[in-house]
Amino acid sequence: MNHPHALNFLTLLAIPVFALAVEPDPLLIAAAADLAPMEVQLTKGFSAAGGASVRFSFGASGMLARQVENGAPYDVYLSANEKFVRQLTDEGRLVQETVACYANGRLGLWASKQPVPELQDLAKSGFRLIAIPNPEHAPYGAAAVALLQRLGLWKQVQPKAVLAENVREAYEYAATGNADAVITSWTLVLSKPGARLLSDANHPPIRQFGGVVAGTPRQVRAHAFLRFLLSPQGQAILKAGGLYPPSGR
């Protein structure tokens, strides 16, 4: 008569060794919302390069920075703004030697139901509501306001402005018809008919920085992800998605 414990042991031996391996926790990456369209490509690219699994949490850079300050369990912080990264580094929240510029962003202009031949047309009566990310915590929103101010359009556009939490929400306002046009990240509209890439000559550069969160138990893998982002493979994904190489690259 077989002993029940013997049966359990034999059953265990029959299970392939790989089935007993425990998948490590995925890297948790706090990422600026302009990176959302590249989530699949970045995840697959990092895996193909030998990296572990990753999970993204997208949002406005300023809001994510506050979450990092409050101890959210992120491993990597990818901002659309250098300022937030420098502040977190000064506070000891990011590992200083990992901080790097991974891309430069550009603004895009798009309207879902009518062409937008020139930025100046936003001041006309045909555009009643114009979506932009909230400049208080979204770097693309701050750049959009600076651009409109420099061109002398902000006074006419401000009463029409619908402030969104981040670039992705601003895009959704226009895509769903809740706004007549949107100024947002080029990464979100580059494939849309009629979308216009705006000149970056009239606003501060959108220099996107990232770093490893201090104290994460996944330091090695977090470092590896940032190295991948700066590698030719990572840069190719960002470029195809509408971002531009960091200055000097």
Question: On the CB side of 131, how many CA atoms lie within 13 Å of its CA?
Answer: 26
pLDDT of the chain along its 249 residues, tens only?
444 444 443 433 443 433 334 456 899 999 999 999 999 999 999 999 988 899 999 999 999 999 999 999 999 999 999 999 999 999 999 999 999 999 999 999 999 888 877 899 999 888 999 999 999 989 999 999 999 999 999 999 999 999 999 999 999 999 999 999 999 999 999 999 999 999 999 999 999 999 999 999 999 999 999 999 999 999 999 999 999 999 744
- Domain 27-105+205-240 and domain 107-197, same fold? Reply is yes
Distance CA 143, CA 131 (A): 14
Tell me which CATH code domain 27-105+205-240 carries. Answer: 3.40.190.10
Q: Give 213's DSSP letter.
A: B
User: What is the fold of 107-197?
Assistant: D-Maltodextrin-Binding Protein; domain 2 (3.40.190)
Would you state the structure tokens that stand for residue 70, as one six-digit string? Answer: 């409050």
Calculate the alpha carbon distances from 156 to 5, 167, 183, 196 in Å: 79, 21, 15, 20
Q: Name the region of 181 (left: φ>0; alpha: ψ -120 to 50; beta: rest).
A: beta
Domain boundaries, the chain: 27-105+205-240, 107-197
- Residue 208, SS3? strand
Distance CA 197, CA 104 (A): 14
Question: On the CB side of 145, how many CA atoms lie within 13 Å of its CA?
Answer: 16
Distance CA 102, CA 72 (A): 22
Maximum CA extent, the chain: 91
Distance CA 79, CA 105 (A): 11
Kind of pairing, strands 181-185 and 76-78? unpaired
Please report, to the nearest 10 degrees, the dihedral formed by the alpha carbons of residues 59, 215, 47, 28 taken in order. Answer: -30
Amino acid in position 69:
E
Whether pTM > 0.85 for this model: the answer is yes
